[in-house]
Amino acid sequence: MTTKYKFPESFFWGASTSATQSEGRVEGDNKGENIWDYSSKEYNHRFFDGVTTEKTSLFYQDYKEDIDRMADIHFNSFRTSISWSRLIPDGVGEINEQAVEFYNNVIDNLIAKGIEPFINLYHFDMPMKLQEKGGFENREIIKAYKSYAETCFELFGDRVKYWFTFNEPMIPAEAGYLHDRHYPYVVDFKRAATVLHHTILAHCEAVDSYRKKGLDGKIGIIMDVIPVYPRSQNSADVKAGNMADLFYTRSLNEPILLGKYPEELIDILKEHDQLPDVEKNDLELIKQTAVDILGINYYKPRRVKAKDYEINKNGIFSPEWFFDNYEMPGRRMNTSRGIEIYPKGIYDIAMMIKEKYGNIDWFVSENGIGIQEEEKFIENGQVNDEYRIDFLKEHLIWVKKAMDEGSNCLGFHMWTFVDCWSWINAYKNRYGFYRLDLETGEKTLKKSGEWFKTVIDKNGF
């Protein structure tokens, strides 16, 4: 059968996960507590079915078998994260030797199976001991993160060739400090802006440390990019779209990829007294820091319109002062997640990277579809997830179009390998190539996993 959409032989095929969402705990592992371990217990009512971080796919104990499962469907790459609180339980100080052994074993087993490890340093999981000091709201934590990053480079940098400083750095700032979704459940824009600024500085410090070590590899960052589409080309709608993009995309992309904050953003924050404290050397550090590779997580578009009503600006400052969300009639929806399905968005992101950010090397670091009650689709013991296959095909077609037009996309990682614990949704929605039975711990390959194997073997479909 002819392969219509052919990708390069060097293309990275695989999946992504994170430490908190997959590793789990075993007695005596000496792992320290992070903010998700804490909040899923202390604020358990916020989590679907009250499922805590202890109920994961248990990669900590099953990593050998799980890596065999990856090899069975011919992955050539896999992204996961190191748990800061597992490696350094208090966030600073003594290293957990059991964690060192575990991560060494994971890396070595991946390489032995021909699977390139893509290692992320921070995936939303601030050590609780450091959160008690303010987390990234406290400038001192930048130094702690830098030390943690240097420890990882020293321990694993001889084998890991692809490093990433943060996964979706906008999310801990926005969800934890503005929109009350993640711990510490703060609603304060200026504090959110402070967290984001300090996170960007921590990223820069880690990149600088990596460069100074002269290691043979690449370092980058994983971005959650939501392309913005205004309701119409009416000037008010266009302005609303520009404001949404300014706050939720350019505020992060431009310091990371262009070395400076957007002037329009600075002017607005000054006007409303929302500018975080910026020290003399901060902007110079940002200016001189460049990444080698960019990961892009893409799930949905952001559609906006001009505000329907004038708002009361005496309240808490918010980006939503400047636009309203727009529910476009006829949009395709993933009703399990309540989000729009729009495959062309990945192409639009690729073109944005090409045109605005120097056509930097990038890869799809997450893309996938979470479905509730997926057991309804089990036939003869296997999840018949044709919907996931169709979803991936549609997105890959747009990735290929972008590549044909000159975009430097290096790979595609699906979220996720095995159904994983997913923050406040826990196991409400399933994403994996392998189904996890929560009662028995059994992991079984879904139809999409079989299909993905054929894609890898053909380098296309």
Catalytic residue among 137, 174, 366, 374: 366
Highest CATH level, class, for 12-458: alpha beta
* Catalytic residue flag (residue 168): yes
pLDDT of residue 8: 97
Q: Which of 26-30, 94-98, 127-131 has the lowest mean pLDDT?
A: 26-30
For tokens 């104990």, what's the residue?
A: 61
Position of tokens 């099953």? 62
Closest by CA to 365, choosing from 341, 390, 399, is 399
> How confident is residue 253, by pLDDT bands cut at 50, 70 and 90?
very high
pLDDT, position 202 = 98
Percent of the chain with pLDDT strictly greater than 70:
100
The pLDDT, as a whole number, for residue 313 is 78
The burial of 327, by beta-carbon neighbours within 10 Å (0-12 exposed, 13-18 middle, 19 or more buried), is given as exposed
pLDDT at 332: 96
The mean per-residue pLDDT over the stretch 255-259 comes to 97
Instruction: Please compute the mean of the pLDDT values over residues 432-458 and round it to a whole number.
Output: 96
Q: What is the mean pLDDT of residues 154-162?
A: 98
Please, which pLDDT band fits residue 52 given cuts at 50, 70 and 90? confident
pLDDT band at 445 (very low <50, low <70, confident <90, very high): very high
3-state secondary structure the chain: CCCCCECCCCCEEEEECCHHHHCCCCCCCCCCCEHHHHHHHHCHHHCHHHCCCCCCCCHHHHHHHHHHHHHHCCCCEEEEECCHHHHCCCCCCCCCHHHHHHHHHHHHHHHHCCCEEEEECCCCCCEHHHHCCCHHHCCHHHHHHHHHHHHHHHHHCCCCCEEEEEECCHHHHHHHHCCCCCCCCCCCHHHHHHHHHHHHHHHHHHHHHHHHHCCCCEEEEEEECCCEEECCCCHHHHHHHHHHHHHHHHHHHHHHHCCCCCHHHHHHHHHCCCCCCCCCCHHHHHHHCCCCEEEEECCCCEEEECCCCCCCCCCCCCHHHCCEECCCCCCCEECCCCEECCCHHHHHHHHHHHHHCCCCCEEEEECCCCEECHHHHEECCEECCHHHHHHHHHHHHHHHHHHHCCCCEEEEEEECCECCCCHHHCCCEECCCEEECCCCCCEEECHHHHHHHHHHHHCEC
At 315 the pLDDT is 82
Tens of pLDDT, residue by residue over 84-123, are: 999 999 999 999 999 999 999 999 999 999 999 999 999 9
Interval 374-431: pLDDT, tens: 999 999 999 999 999 999 999 999 999 999 999 999 999 999 999 999 899 989 999 9
Domain coordinates in residue numbering, the chain: 12-458
Q: Is 366 a catalytic residue?
A: yes
Q: What is the pLDDT of residue 158?
A: 97
pLDDT of residue 280: 86
pLDDT confidence tier of residue 4, bands split at 50, 70 and 90:
very high
Per-residue model confidence (pLDDT) at position 1: 67
Residue 355: partners with Cβ closer than 8 Å, 6 or more residues away: none
State residue 63's pLDDT score.
97
The catalytically annotated residue of 168, 254, 340, 374 is 168
What is the model's pLDDT at position 57? 79
